[in-house]
Amino acid sequence: MRPEERGSGREGGRQGERGVPDGLLVGVLALLLGMTVLVWSATGLAGLFAHGSWPSGVTFVRTPLAMRHLVGQPHDVPGAWPGTPEEQLSGYGLFWGLFIGQLMVLLVLTVFVMGTAARWRAGRAARRKAAAAPAADRTTAAVPPATPASSTPAPRPTAPPQAPAAERSPGREGAVAYEKPPADATGTHTRYLHTAHDVRGVHDIHGGPAAAVPGTPMTGGVPDAYGTAGTSGPVPLSSGLPGDAYGGTGGAGGPVPGLPGTYGAVVPAPPEAAVGAAAPVRERPLIPEPLRAAATGPLPVTVPAPRGPVVLGPAETRHPLAVQAVRDAEGPALVITSSPALWAETKDARAKLGPVLLYDPSHLCDTPARLHWPPTTGCEDRATAAARAAALLSPVRPTAKIDQAVADVAETLLRSYLHAAAVDGRTIRHVHRWAQGTQVQDAVRTLRTNTKAASGSAGELEAALTSHPERRDIAQELTSRALAALSTINVRESCTPNRTDALTLDSFINEGGTLYVVGEAIEDPRTRPGAMPLLTALAASVVERGRRMAERSSSGRLDPPLSLVLDDVAAVAPLPQLPDLLTTGADRGLPTLALLRSREQARTRWPHHDLPV
């Protein structure tokens, strides 16, 4: 056998052999070494943590034998280290815990290092690519454009008439499509440009083709990047636009020299360009100046129609206005509505700005997250109790002047009941019982004996209960009717105190939150008020809190403002403060939008005020 054949045979034999790859071998050795280090360090650290010192016989050289023993008996740590006293070693739980913990830390560090290295390599490649791009651009710019071969001069043809619509071939959007127009007398054809998104073949002053210039969309009726609207259908390059705008001499120019014709023939340059020096030619703008000036003018601005604080209309008119007002609120918002759809359409958008609270004692909305609010909140203060009683009685309060005395007695009774329950730590159930005329003496005793009660409150309650029995009976009917909804389980449960809800309600204005007050629309609350008194009391309490915050501020107004969106407010929660809010609320940072059904509805709820409709 020749030497070269023997050499080739040895090489073929080596290629046929399949040995262990070097990378796999190094990886296995690194894994074994790492596991050895982890077992050794875990044993030593476990003894250090358990007894305060490193075990005497735990050495790195003895670790492989210990690993072999632990593979068969993981719980026998002293047997893995026979040369170490057992009292210096820890239990197997601490040892394996430290071992697994070190292994997890090592894996996390490995993944972190690999990710960091990959990001660094990707960033280096991106920087190299960015650095190479300008050099390539400079090289491309330095290469002069190729000059096409000149052809035999030919006379410049005139523009033919527009081709009939039946002979046009539609082009695809975004591409230049050509069609065969009718031939003129000289046998030449005029090139047409169909609806396209770019204009190609703009020539320099020497007649050579320059780089393609990006054009503008020319679809019919749509303004392009220059502000002009394109035309639909084929547009001839030789006519149709003023010649002065392109630097030419009219609208009947011929084909551009140096460009291929309709069927691929090169259109020759004029004789004067081939013989002598090139005459100065003005640059031709892509869009005529008159069209560009007319199209780039200021766009018309849509000015919304002015809207007053009170809007009248049906539900179809009120709902979109309420939705837009809630979405446009820049700060906290109080929303009163009889439509659960308003809450459903705006709650997600408002949740991005702050907490969203829902007071829905009638369970009209499909959600379990409802606010709990007891009407006795804050009634330790006598003035707060008086305002709360007035708000609770406002839906059922008679409007005739002859009934004014009865309404005052009812307000005194309800104010005393709320004050007594608040200072004694009682619930709304006791107020409901007292309002029905049951165990009223408990309220009198509380106001007389409790040190937190306002002075003279017990005497006022006793005077209202003992003088004018007929007036007292009618007043008790009013208080009982105002709290009649507490007989319903859902309504009574919504008035149960909840510490979390109380804190959230107190802070939602500062946090930019939204409070939705949802209830049934009731047209005649004096006979069947439902939960309207409770809704009115909560809304009035929030408005009063916002007014006090505005008074304490340095500017005398809330910033950001508390927006009040009151949809169908007359049928849900007729606020006693609404007339004042419509006139002075915006100055205090309480912008109000009241959406009502009709003037008659507004006149029925607020008979002594003329709302600015």
Alpha helices in 483-531 (DSSP H): 489-494, 499-507
User: What is the per-residue pLDDT across 545-595, written as a single tens digit (0 to 9) for each?
Assistant: 999 999 998 888 898 999 999 999 999 999 999 999 999 989 999 999 999
Sorted by sequence, the CB contacts under 8 Å of residue 553 that are 6+ apart come out as 559
Sorted by sequence, the CB contacts under 8 Å of residue 42 that are 6+ apart come out as 95, 96, 98, 99, 102
Asked whether residue 516 carries a pLDDT value surpassing 80, the answer given is yes
How, if at all, do strands 592-596 and 235-236 pair? unpaired
203 beta partners: 209
> What pLDDT, on the 0 to 100 scale, is given for residue 540?
95
> What pLDDT, on the 0 to 100 scale, is given for residue 307?
59
> What pLDDT, on the 0 to 100 scale, is given for residue 533?
95
Q: Is 596 helix (H, G, I), strand (E, B) or coil?
A: strand
User: What is the per-residue pLDDT across 120-163, written as a single tens digit (0 to 9) for each?
Assistant: 999 989 988 888 887 666 666 555 555 444 444 444 545 444 44
CA dist 267 → 27, 150, 206, 306, 437 (Å):
71, 9, 15, 63, 108
Measured CA to CA, the distance from residue 299 to residue 302 in angstroms comes to 9
Sorted by sequence, the CB contacts under 8 Å of residue 591 that are 6+ apart come out as 561, 563, 564, 585
Q: Of the candidates 72, 71, 69, 63, which has an alpha carbon nearest to the alpha carbon of residue 43?
A: 63
Asked whether residue 105 carries a pLDDT value surpassing 60, the answer given is yes
Asked whether residue 227 carries a pLDDT value surpassing 60, the answer given is no
Domain boundaries, given as residue ranges, for the chain = 29-127, 174-201+209-237, 308-372+498-613, 391-490
User: What is the per-residue pLDDT across 50-60, written as a single tens digit (0 to 9) for each?
Assistant: 888 888 888 88
Mean per-residue pLDDT of the chain = 76
CATH class of 308-372+498-613: alpha beta
pLDDT band at 69 (very low <50, low <70, confident <90, very high): confident
Q: Which two tokens stand for residue 397?
A: 């309060």
> What pLDDT, on the 0 to 100 scale, is given for residue 18?
66
> What pLDDT, on the 0 to 100 scale, is given for residue 140?
61
3-state helix, strand, coil in the chain (%, to 5): 50, 5, 45
Asked whether residue 231 carries a pLDDT value surpassing 80, the answer given is no
pLDDT band at 182 (very low <50, low <70, confident <90, very high): very low
Q: What is the DSSP letter of 223?
A: B
Half-sphere exposure of 143 (CA within 13 A, CB side): 8
Measured CA to CA, the distance from residue 54 to residue 601 in angstroms comes to 88
Measured CA to CA, the distance from residue 431 to residue 385 in angstroms comes to 12
Sorted by sequence, the CB contacts under 8 Å of residue 545 that are 6+ apart come out as 509
Higher pLDDT, 171 or 335: 335
Asked whether residue 322 carries a pLDDT value surpassing 80, the answer given is yes
> What pLDDT, on the 0 to 100 scale, is given for residue 340?
94
User: What is the per-residue pLDDT across 381-402, written as a single tens digit (0 to 9) for each?
Assistant: 999 999 999 999 999 998 888 8
pLDDT band at 300 (very low <50, low <70, confident <90, very high): very low
Measured CA to CA, the distance from residue 67 to residue 84 in angstroms comes to 15
Measured CA to CA, the distance from residue 390 to residue 492 in angstroms comes to 20
516 beta partners: 335, 358
User: What is the per-residue pLDDT across 268-289, written as a single tens digit (0 to 9) for each?
Assistant: 444 444 444 444 445 454 445 5
Please state, for a pLDDT cut of 70, what percent of the chain lies above it. Answer: 69
563 beta partners: 333
